[in-house]
Structure 1
Amino acid sequence: MINTSSLPATLALKLVTTKRESFETSIRKDVVNAREIKAFEERIASISSVEDLVKDYEVYAFVMKAHGLENQIFGKAMMKKVLVSDPAEKGALVNRLTDKRFRDIRNALEFGSDGSAPEKFQDPDWRSGLVQKYVSHKLVESQLESNAPVGIALHMQTKAPTITSWFNVLSDTKAQDFFYTALGLPESLKTTDVDKQAATLAKRFDLEKLKDPAELDKLIRRYTALAQVGSSGGGSSNPIVQLVSGGGGNSLTSINLSGLTALRAGKYSS
């Protein structure tokens, strides 16, 4: 996989976006990832209940990772309750949890209230879709490690359509960092009451704008530009730039410093 760690965030995100298929192919070919994908594809069809799922650690861990729930893998008792919760019931566990990832995995797997597995476990297209979700999550993870702003930007591309309130943002550290940087808010605000944070964020940006792809792209470009301010090395001489710019990296790496100053001062409207 191409290492983006030496590139400024704006250029690195452009590279990952332009060459995403190549990045995802590298992820699929990784020894560990390939083994986990193979285990899921070969055994998910034989899973007939929630109990079967949590007993098969490799398959269970795979679906958890695909939904970004690695840190909850060992909470099997709670996950079994989540997976058989009825989203239609207001008081159901899956609805009481503020983290939307639990609802996402419940809706993706669709176990019956009696714990029985759905027929779609037999569907190759459904299995392929979940593998792609796993690969996409791994791509975000890899970029968080090599070029954090890029990982956060990729995360926001996926998360933005699901955000309905500022509390969704504040419960997600990556989304919170994204908006704090993009909107030029001080880190000290993070130590204040969540209601105050939500109110401050609401004054600075209308979440309804996230429904507009152009507005989201504009916000992401602002975030990556600000995230790279002060970083060393423009990367224009890096041969990797050729993959994106076709030989002229300057048009991608040039930064209007006066514009960035205005962004940091909050003079640009979203």
Structure 2
Amino acid sequence: MSFQPFVLGNGLSAWVLLKSTLGTQQAAFNTNYVTQSDTQYFKGRFADLSTPDDIVSDRRLLRLVLGAYGLSDDIESRHFIKTVMSEGVSDPSALANKLSDRRYRALAQDFDFSKSPPGHKAIAGLAQRTVDNYLAQSFEIEIGKSDTDMRLALGFKRSLTEVAGTAGSNATAWFQILATPPLREVMQKALGLPTEFSKLDIDVQHERMMDKASLVFGTNEVTELAGDPMADAVTRRFLIMRQAETLNQSSSLQTALILLSSIPKLR
């Protein structure tokens, strides 16, 4: 029987408890038979992957690859995923470059079958990185079955660290946050930006989110926000703002302010 990750309670208290059991739960999840079998199967096949069909025609491989990029919901969209990987990212007109969700570009950049040999064969350590990402995101998905906010909170620091390390500039990093739905949701809620915010022009969203981050967290540098103290502060604020939504309108603001005052100041 495989291990089922769990969440007890909700909101900030659930997050504190989850973090205290995270190492044990992840170890149990990563070492169960099903997970081990899938990751070993992928590693065994990795070097022989020569065409996108090798992945999309094998549901077991496709599930792992998509899972590593947070795209598990696309498991039935085989033709779409095949096109993303077939076209790669070198051509500005490639499908992945046209999509607003940066996760598709990350997939096409790593598994780029527009090249010969395919791009994944030239990236050192990609097989293990794919497995590590798959394990992390699969665990988050399982946690999400109990609490979707816990899933978002778990993935936030990992994804933000990745953006900070690959964006090239702080301005680009913020555009990538806006183009990564889970990151965007956490950051937008933590900054208290309304749902209607997403209807604004993307450049306006970019400017306002950076300005709001400076105001709320004292910095808009993504490399700083991805560090342990700041990432935890953003995550806690996200969960507090979510909690406030579940309270009645008359008391939600007061409760949120009380909860927010309990977060230690970082500056």
- Whether these two folds match at TM > 0.5 is yes
Change (3 A) 1:113 1:149: same
Structure of higher CA gyration radius: 1
Partner of 1:220: 235
Q: Deviations over 1:13-42 (max 9, x none)?
A: 344444433222232245653443343233
Partner of 1:248: none
Partner of 1:128: 128
Alpha-carbon separation, structure 2, partners of 1:184 and 1:126: 37
The alignment-based identity, stated in percent, is: 19
Check if 1:203 corresponds to 2:211. yes
Alpha-carbon separation, structure 2, partners of 1:176 and 1:86: 25
Aligned amino acid, residue 227 of structure 1: R
Between stretches 105-114 and 56-65, larger displacement belongs to 105-114
Contact 1:170 1:194 in 2 (8 A): no
Please, what TM-score do these two structures have when normalized by structure 2? 0.70
Check if 1:3 corresponds to 2:6. yes
Please, what TM-score do these two structures have when normalized by structure 1? 0.70
Partner of 1:176: 184
Q: Note the C-alpha offset of 1:133.
A: 0.8
Change (3 A) 1:197 1:47: closer
Contact 1:13 1:150 in 2 (8 A): yes
Question: For 1:43, which of 30, 45, 52 is the aligned residue?
Answer: 45
Alpha-carbon separation, structure 2, partners of 1:64 and 1:197: 28
Alpha-carbon separation, structure 2, partners of 1:40 and 1:113: 21
Unmatched 5+ stretches in structure 1: 233-255
Partner of 2:168: none
Q: Deviations over 1:111-132 (max 9, x none)?
A: 35257475469x8x54333211
Between stretches 40-49 and 99-108, larger displacement belongs to 40-49
Between stretches 160-169 and 135-144, larger displacement belongs to 160-169
Change (3 A) 1:67 1:219: same
Partner of 1:160: 160
RMSD over equivalenced CA pairs, Å = 3.6
SS at match of 1:111: coil
* Larger RCO (CA under 8 A, 6+ residues apart): 1
Partner of 2:169: none
Aligned amino acid, residue 158 of structure 1: R
Contact 1:140 1:154 in 2 (8 A): yes
Alpha-carbon separation, structure 1, partners of 2:148 and 2:75: 24
Aligned amino acid, residue 148 of structure 2: A
Q: Deviations over 1:152-186 (max 9, x none)?
A: 12222122242736554444443333233312234
Q: Deviations over 1:74-117 (max 9, x none)?
A: 33333233223353333333222221111211233343525747
Aligned amino acid, residue 27 of structure 1: F
Contact 2:102 2:179 in 1 (8 A): no
Unmatched 5+ stretches in structure 2: 165-171, 248-254
SS at match of 1:46: coil
Alpha-carbon separation, structure 1, partners of 2:223 and 2:55: 35
Pairwise mapping of residues 252-263 of structure 1 onto structure 2 (< 5 A)? 259-260=258-259
Tell me how many residue pairs correspond in the alignment.
239
Q: Deviations over 1:31-60 (max 9, x none)?
A: 653443343233333333222222222112
Check if 1:193 corresponds to 2:200. yes
Partner of 1:250: none
